[in-house]
Homo-oligomer: A and B are copies of this chain.
Amino acid sequence: MKKWEIAVIPGDGIGKEVVPAALDVLKAVADVHGGISFSFTEFPWSCDYYMEHGKMMPDDGLETLRNFDAIFLGAVGNPKLVPDHISLWGLLLKIRREFEQVINIRPAKYFRGLSSPLAEPREFDFIVVRENSEGEYSEIGGRIHRGEDEIAIQNAVFTRKGTERAMRYAFELARKRKRHVTSATKSNGIFHTMPFWDEVFADVKRDYPDVATASYHIDALAAFFVTRPHTFDVVVASNLFGDILTDLGGAIMGSIGIAPAANINVNGKYPSMFEPVHGSAPDIYGQGIANPIGQIWTAKLMLDHFGEEEIGALLLQTIEDVAADGIKTPDLGGTATTKEVTEEICRRLRKRG
């Protein structure tokens, strides 16, 4: 029996509430499925840690994480204590970058029992494949002059390798699904990078004649996520476009609080990292009402990654059943606590077991 070694970083705010919840669920999964077992090692790296140590994680933090099978992260950021660009670069973005987690996977689906903000939600079920290593998220750029004359420059850098890799990942994923890939572009404007993006897409597409495609400019595509989300299967997007689209994916599901994500190291050199889309929500932290679904669904993505897709599917089914039965946190219109939702999911998993 494989024992999966998991580094657990609850992080900040509600990360500290929803991560323990998701660990309880993973324990329940392990209890009922003889074939799977986990060992969790927790690290307190966070803005609180920064206040004490002047850094978000120890200098050998990455070395420490490196030997785990996966990293399970809650949320990072508490702008009242540490400016976001420090906390995020010191932990979340650092891990994504250093561990070559070049792909970010973010599913969105119509969830029974959630009141979607959409009037007539059809049963949408899509995955955004976000390029996670380059593009608009580059360190290149800076600022010059002060006061009236100041100029700030940010470079977006798209490589053939990085772009193609994200697209191939999307096409491969589509083959396991409905064989449709939508490209998020913006080649009608001015960007030197986007006609390039389109050309790479056209090249990659040629290798997947069995997969249908579409291509929309990001502005129109964002609108389509609202007006016809059921028409998407796999959507491939640059780092920034993927960032925006996946929050929208959360919004149309009914809450950003349920959206899961996985940062995938595709070359197998480093662990992948699993973290929900939502942030640390310092405003509701401590009340015990944080929605654990995003983190628990993220645990499902980790199970999938370990090849335990059947158990993953069962877990997602259970989450959805519990929501459909009205056991939901206040952000979803329910009255349940984090704990009640979690316990109900665990109870049903054990019962089904």
- Chain B residue numbers with a CB within 8 Å of A77 are 188
- Chain B residue numbers with a CB within 8 Å of A161 are 148
Q: A34 on the interface (CB 8 Å rule)?
A: no
Q: Which of B143, B190, B227 contacts A85 (CB 8 A)?
A: B190
- Chain B residue numbers with a CB within 8 Å of A41 are none
Which of A1-25 touch B at CB < 8 Å? none
Most chain B beta-carbon contacts within 10 A, residue among A120, A155, A223: A223
Q: Which of B155, B187, B218 contacts A153 (CB 8 A)?
A: B155
Tally A residues with Cβ within 8 Å of B.
66
- Chain B residue numbers with a CB within 8 Å of A187 are 84-85
- If A156-B154, A157-B151, A159-B151 touch, does A190 touch B223 (CB 8 Å cutoff)? no
- CA of A248 to CA of B148, assembled, Å: 33
Q: Which of B119, B153, B160, B224 contacts A157 (CB 8 A)?
A: B153
- Chain B residue numbers with a CB within 8 Å of A240 are 186
- CA of A89 to CA of B192, assembled, Å: 13
B193 near A152 (CB under 8 angstroms)?
yes
- CA of A55 to CA of B246, assembled, Å: 39
Nearest-Cβ distance from residue A3 to partner chain B, whole angstroms: 35
Most chain B beta-carbon contacts within 10 A, residue among A117, A157, A161: A117
- Chain B residue numbers with a CB within 8 Å of A90 are none
B160 near A88 (CB under 8 angstroms)?
no
Nearest B residue to A150 by beta-carbon distance? B160
**Per-residue 0/1 for A157-170: is the Cβ within 8 Å of any B Cβ (1 yes, 0 no)?**
11111000000000
- CA of A120 to CA of B70, assembled, Å: 41
Q: A51 on the interface (CB 8 Å rule)?
A: no
Nearest-Cβ distance from residue A97 to partner chain B, whole angstroms: 10
Which of A152-210 touch B at CB < 8 Å? 152-161, 186-197
Q: A307 on the interface (CB 8 Å rule)?
A: no
- If A143-B196, A159-B151 touch, does A88 touch B138 (CB 8 Å cutoff)? no
B192 near A154 (CB under 8 angstroms)?
yes
- Chain B residue numbers with a CB within 8 Å of A268 are none
Nearest-Cβ distance from residue A194 to partner chain B, whole angstroms: 8
- If A190-B89, A247-B223 touch, does A158 touch B152 (CB 8 Å cutoff)? yes
- CA of A188 to CA of B243, assembled, Å: 12
**Per-residue 0/1 for A323-351: is the Cβ within 8 Å of any B Cβ (1 yes, 0 no)?**
00000000000000000000000000000
Copies of this chain in the oligomer: 2
- Chain B residue numbers with a CB within 8 Å of A226 are 117, 226, 248, 251-252
Q: A244 on the interface (CB 8 Å rule)?
A: yes
- CA of A118 to CA of B254, assembled, Å: 11
Q: A266 on the interface (CB 8 Å rule)?
A: no
Nearest-Cβ distance from residue A276 to partner chain B, whole angstroms: 13
- CA of A305 to CA of B154, assembled, Å: 34
- Chain B residue numbers with a CB within 8 Å of A155 are 141, 153-156
Which of A218-277 touch B at CB < 8 Å? 218-220, 222-224, 226-227, 240, 243-244, 246-248, 250-252, 256
Contacts A141-B193, A186-B240, A222-B222 aside, 11 further interface pairs with beta carbons under 8 A come to: A117-B226, A117-B227, A141-B155, A141-B191, A152-B192, A154-B192, A219-B246, A220-B247, A222-B248, A223-B251, A224-B251
